[in-house]
Amino acid sequence: MGAIRKIALIGTAATVYQAPWNDPTWEIWSHASAVNLVPNDRVDRWIDLHPPSCWRNPKRWHSDYYGWLKTLHTPIWMQKKYKDVPASVSFPKDRLLAEFGRYFTSQTAWMIGAALTEGVTHLGFFGVHYESTAEYRAQRAGCEWLMGIAFGRGVNLVLPPTSPLLSRPTWLYGYESHENNARAATYDEPPPQDTKITAKWTPEERPTSVDPFKPLRDHQRKIKEQRDELSATGTPHGTGQHRGRVGHGPGDDRQRVKPAKTDDRVSRQRRGGRGHVARKHPR
């Protein structure tokens, strides 16, 4: 098992204050728009992937955002390296598009992809909700898609109890979404029974999933162990070409194939001797 690497992704929603600010085992990657909400000296990386026309102009949530960018010392991912932002670092967009496709609908989705390419064992989501407006809800889909990829790769997803990510709609479609021959008016209402979708997992709560390929892997491992044992004892085994044997594995007792008889001189000329290419001799 490799080293543990925990990365907390920071947004501006209410759960930002539940981030592990005092836990040095966590790296902090933050949206630059959270500059007024977080302890700046605790952030390891900032991100602002908007075009220059956005971050060079005044912001209603910061008195001098452009000035802050110009004096920033912590690395900040941007679309490319900018001379007027010395700490800017070109974001690896092309690498992520090549690996994951082009379904990046938010900065958090970009950060998840970057974390996966660098290597990560735990991803925390604090201040990342994407639920207040239609714009944010559109961004949420790509974020949750990348979260699914991360979970599929064995990454632990750490979410505050009040986070809406991977929890809404609350209905299990078909089992809880339809009643009396009609679909529920909204999936945001609680289901008929107090049943929660089991998609919020902390490292301790993560369930053991069923691996449908386990029987195949067990069979392959057994075959490998048998081959290793045969190799250790010097017993010949092969794929049907080994020592002229017919068959495709060890233990095949069928008769060996005898090579056809040929004129010895012609045979040597065709083979060119042992380990040599056949050549015509000068007359």
Domain locations along the chain: 6-166
Confirm if 171 and 184 have CB atoms less than 8 A apart. yes
101-105, 150-154, 267-271: least confident range: 267-271
In the sheet with 45-47, reading across from the earlier edge strand, the strands are: 88-90, 76-78, 45-47, 26-31, 6-10, 122-126, 156-158
In the numeric block, which tokens belong to residue 280?
A: 């015509």
pLDDT-based confidence at 156, cuts 50/70/90?
very high
8-17, 62-71, 140-149, 166-175: least confident range: 166-175
Confirm if 79 and 91 have CB atoms less than 8 A apart. yes
Taking CA atoms, 53 is separated from 35, 50, 125, 219, 260, in Å, by: 19, 8, 28, 58, 80
Query: What is residue 22's DSSP assignment?
Result: T
pLDDT-based confidence at 209, cuts 50/70/90?
very low
How far apart CA 107 and CA 281 sit, in angstroms, is 73
How confident is the model at residue 234, as a pLDDT?
72
In the numeric block, which tokens belong to residue 114?
A: 């970057």
- Report whether pLDDT(241) > 70: no
Q: What crossing angle do the helices spanning 107-118 and 93-100 adopt, rounded to 10°?
A: 80
The pTM score is 0.64
Burial class (CB in 10 A: 0-12, 13-18, 19+), 282: exposed
Q: Is the preceding omega at residue 169 within 30 degrees of 0, hence cis? A: yes
Confirm if 76 and 46 have CB atoms less than 8 A apart. yes
Rounded percentage of the chain residues whose pLDDT exceeds 70: 65
pLDDT digits (tens, 9 = 90+) for 108-127: 999 999 999 999 999 999 99
How confident is the model at residue 182, as a pLDDT?
67
pLDDT-based confidence at 1, cuts 50/70/90?
low
Mean pLDDT of the chain: 76
In the numeric block, which tokens belong to residue 203?
A: 């490292």
From the CB of residue 88, how many other CB atoms can be counted at a distance below 10 Å?
21
pLDDT digits (tens, 9 = 90+) for 74-105: 999 999 999 999 999 999 999 999 999 999 98
In the numeric block, which tokens belong to residue 124?
A: 């925390």
Q: Which fold has domain 6-166?
A: Rossmann fold (3.40.50)
Mean pLDDT of 28-37: 95
Contacts of 4 (CB under 8 A, 6+ apart): 25, 121, 122
How confident is the model at residue 226, as a pLDDT?
79
From the list 4, 6, 2, 32, the residue with the least C-alpha distance to 19 is 6
pLDDT-based confidence at 25, cuts 50/70/90?
very high
pLDDT-based confidence at 178, cuts 50/70/90?
confident
How far apart CA 25 and CA 20 sit, in angstroms, is 9
Mean pLDDT of 20-38: 94
pLDDT-based confidence at 175, cuts 50/70/90?
confident
Q: What DSSP element (H or E) covers 100? A: helix 93-100
- Report whether pLDDT(214) > 70: no
**Quick one: how far is CA 224 from the chain centroid?**
29
- Report whether pLDDT(189) > 70: no
Sign of CA dihedral 252, 223, 209, 119: negative
